[in-house]
Amino acid sequence: MKFVVTGVTAVLGSMLALTPAFAQLRGHGGPVRALAISADAATALSGSFDSSAIRWSLRRNAAEQVLRFHDGAVNAVAILQDGRFATAGEDGRIALWRAGEQKPEIVLEGHKGPVVALAVSPDGATLASASWDHTVRLWPLAGGSPRVLEGHQQNVNGVAFTPDGAALVSVGYDATMRVWPLQDSSAAPRIVTLAAPLNAVVAAADGEIVVAGADGALSFLSPAGELRGKVDVSRTPIIALAQASDGERLAAASIQGAIAIVERKERKVARVLVGPGLPVWSAAFLPDNRTLLTGGVDAVIRRWDTRLVGRVPSRQSHAVDRRRRRRHPSMGYADR
């Protein structure tokens, strides 16, 4: 397996120690599609193709509650600042939950296609959703009608608020990144076209935007949309992207199952968690900026120390179930 890093090929072979994840969470009956972690690192929320979400205690490494509501895969999850939980699904609905309740407190409806990404505004007042109906919606969490952002020509795969909350960034299969001003609803978005379909986006505290592409590359852009750099991480599409809370480190997971740990400011792959060439669908950092959770098609959530370099033995890696992939057409992401 090879990874290309800004023109330099790093061959990962027998020199890598076999270092498995140091904790596992089991409970889902299908691929783990989404992950979110609370600010106090006590709770994780996961969404799965098995149509459920699970609220986990990270202190006990145990499930605390199974949330069942959606018709189809749970593609995106978020933990709100007021302690509620958000789940979004293949059915186009977004459900807001309170801990311990068996039914959603609120259901947000309006999307005409699967919802695949969620983001919470810095002030906690707004939830953004990205959908394969080619739109983004901004939902006031205090109530009221959503603002609909239209313009993408194909599936919208990712959304992220800028750190000051003044804009929302969206990326899609149409290979565009759009920066939407939020203070002036009449203002047109800034549109940047990149080289490949885009699957995910994060915005760092210093304003830099990082997007993950179906070409296996991370692109680094200024708040104005100017390309600052690019890191070629994988020969296959990147399908999940996570950022440490300090903005220093990124985790980019690919269809081939490798998770590249990227030093954002240095523009380099620092280390790689290597699987047998199979998809890792979700990733999220804990607030300590080094511990990473990942979810794959084997329905297991794994906890990693990202400061260790390791290759995962095949039996402990995210193993693909090809029959399950055929049963879940929404697993098809931007794969070029």
DSSP-assigned states of every residue in 273-324 = EE-SS--EEEEEE-TTSSEEEEEETTSEEEEEETTS-EE--GGGS----HHH
Tokens of 181: 């001003």
Distance CA 304, CA 316 (A): 13
Cα separation, 47 vs 105, whole angstroms: 18
Burial class (CB in 10 A: 0-12, 13-18, 19+), 16: middle
Whole-structure pTM value: 0.87
* Paired tokens of 39: 């600010």
CB atoms within 10 A of CB 18: 11
112: number of Cβ within 10 Å: 10
DSSP state of 145: P
The tens digit of pLDDT for each residue in 259-273 reads: 999 999 999 999 998
Burial (CB count within 10 angstroms: exposed 0-12, middle 13-18, buried 19+), residue 100: exposed
Per-residue pLDDT averaged across 248-255, rounded?
96
The confidence score (pLDDT) of residue 116 equals 98
Is 168's pLDDT higher than 60? yes
Q: For the ranges 147-161, 180-194, 216-230, 311-325, which has the lowest average pLDDT?
A: 311-325
Q: Which two tokens stand for residue 137?
A: 């919606």
What's the Cα-to-Cα distance from 249 to each of 23, 30, 99, 110, 115, rounded to whole Å? 21, 29, 31, 35, 27
Q: Are the C-beta atoms of 108 and 115 separated by less than 8 Å?
A: no
195 has pLDDT over 70: yes
- Give the C-alpha separation, 334 to 232, whole Å: 16
What's domain 2-6+24-328's architecture? 7 Propeller (2.130)
Q: Mind listing the pLDDT tens digit for each residue in 12-37?
A: 332 233 345 667 899 999 999 999 99
Could you report the per-residue pLDDT of 53-63, keeping only the tens digit for each? 999 999 999 99
